[in-house]
Chain A
Amino acid sequence: MGLWAVVCGDRGHVTVERLTPLRQITGERRQRIQAFVVASLLALAVWQMMTFISGGWVPSLWRIFKALGADATTANTYAEMWITLRRIFITFAAATAIGVGLGVAMGLSRRVTVFFRPIVVMALAVPDIVYIIVAILVLGTDESSGLIAMVLALVPFVVNIVIGGVGARDPGLDEMSSVYRLQRLRYLVDVVAWQVSPALMAATRTCFAFSWKLIVLVEALSQPRGIGAQIYYSFRLLRPDHMIAQAILFIMVLRLIEAITFGPLERKLLGWMQ
């Protein structure tokens, strides 16, 4: 019979695999598993030590585990999570679309680069909290202010990664497409987009990772609903075990989303490299 597990692969793909007994696993894989187990146990030991040193302010592993069980079985947790996920999706989609569009345009056109480069460089240097505060001051604590702030904060990161990818494209393929008179759209789709796809994937993953971290921060600062607001609420009620439990639950959901969306997409886009 044996044990079965859902496994997230190196490239983010998810598979269901039968667990092999540790004694039958050899080589590099065995080393990786051993390293993971040692690192996890070490982290848990350090955490438990912090609990003792802090005199109980840092919740024990057992308290966190209990809070995790309680929050995972509460419908409200998922309602709040859904609100946050919706915000993440909007921010992520807008920032990726704008960032990729601008990045490709800058990578292909010197004029566009000359105009936008200083703006992008400046925008990269601005701390994210400044975007959030300015958006709240200008637009109020409305939901849209946080989303706009996040899009503004994320776009420069995406642009920066995409420009690098477009700039590193093979000039030989540009010549080929020029000789065979490929139409502009075909050139962008068949020649540029595929070359830039590794950078696009990197930009998308970066954008996704940043967007959820920042959205949680925005929710904590200015929103009454969402996981960020719930984490901050738990903090104000001095319930650090629930604060950590909600964060863990949210991270697990996001990792799952990342694995089932980015993994297959990456394999489809980069399959030709295998």
Chain B
Amino acid sequence: MARKGRSSVSAAADYIRIAGLHVSYDGVTPAVSDLDMTVAEGDFVAVLGPSGCGKSTLLHAISGVVKPQAGLIEVAGQPVGTGRGEHSVPIGYVFQDHRLLPWRTVAQNLAIVLRASGVSDDEIDGRIDRYLDMLHISDFRDTWPLRLSGGQRQRVSIARALAVQPAVVLMDEPFSTLDEVTARIMRQQLAELWQESGQTLVFVTHSIREALFLANRIFILTRGPARVFDVVQVSVARPRRYEDPALTELEAQIVEHVMDQWGYGPSSAGTEGT
């Protein structure tokens, strides 16, 4: 099903390199099994899969939150580390929920991760202003997160991820908890932000339309344990419209393609829910 199309990729083709990845939380049931994936520098890729297939686990492994049982993960030619305080490739992570420290103001939330990333005190304020401005939330610099709306909190979370100037930004269904209008605005802004920054971005979602709207390439995972079973190149020109008929057509093709693989096809009838 691989499609050819416009690609913005010109730098290192294997900026993120994952080979033979195997992750299991209990040592018995694999969450990710034998997963291979490469992402080029500056690329925007989406990871698409059904709920519970292991998409988040994949991001956890890339960020070093979980240690894989087997396999290789390299970002910018360096293996990712695990654990607090460990020196490794800087990674920005936007979680499904914002995960801001509610007892710290917006600026302090950014300052904490910037300090942990080794940014000097002189530079921190400027960096905070720059990224809050980029995400249109400068007015909330000294506000407690609890006083912000869901969309504003997620903007802060994105600003935090970008402010550390990471090698890669990982996003785990960041708009899934927002209302549809806010989510659309956020997607639009994210697409523009990526075009401006040229940041390498891995975006996990279970929404095919969202993946098509945002990404250059879509890695489709199996139902679980997670394994890449297809890669879709999205050739629709940017800036894209969410309602673009070309996206609708691609969405229909992908739905048809994954139906059987995700256990909703005719061959899976009778097995669903068992």
Contacts and interface: CB of A to CB of B under 8 A. Distances in A.
Main secondary structure of the interface of B (DSSP, over half): loop
Interface size class of A (residues with CB under 8 A): 20 to 34
Contacts of A210: none
Interface in B97-139: 97, 99, 101-104, 112-113, 115-117
Interface of B: 60, 63-65, 81-88, 91, 93, 95, 97, 99, 101-104, 112-113, 115-117, 144, 146, 164
Interface of A: 172-173, 175-184, 186-187, 190-191, 194, 197, 272-273
Contacts of A194: 101, 103
Contact of B84 (A172, A173, A182, A197): A182
Q: Is the interface of A mostly helix, strand, loop or mixed?
A: helix
A179 B63 contact: yes
Given A180-B164, A183-B85, A272 B117 contact: no
Contact of A186 (B87, B95, B97, B112): B112
Contact of B99 (A176, A197, A273): A176
Given A179-B91, A181-B84, A183-B116, 13 more contacts: A173-B99, A173-B101, A175-B60, A176-B95, A178-B63, A180-B117, A181-B85, A181-B86, A182-B113, A272-B102, A272-B103, A272-B146, A273-B146
Contacts of B63: 178-179
A191 B101 CA distance: 7
B65 A179 contact: yes
B113 A180 contact: yes
B142 to A, nearest CB: 12
B112 A179 contact: no
A182 B112 contact: yes
B144 A272 contact: yes
A6 B212 CA distance: 65
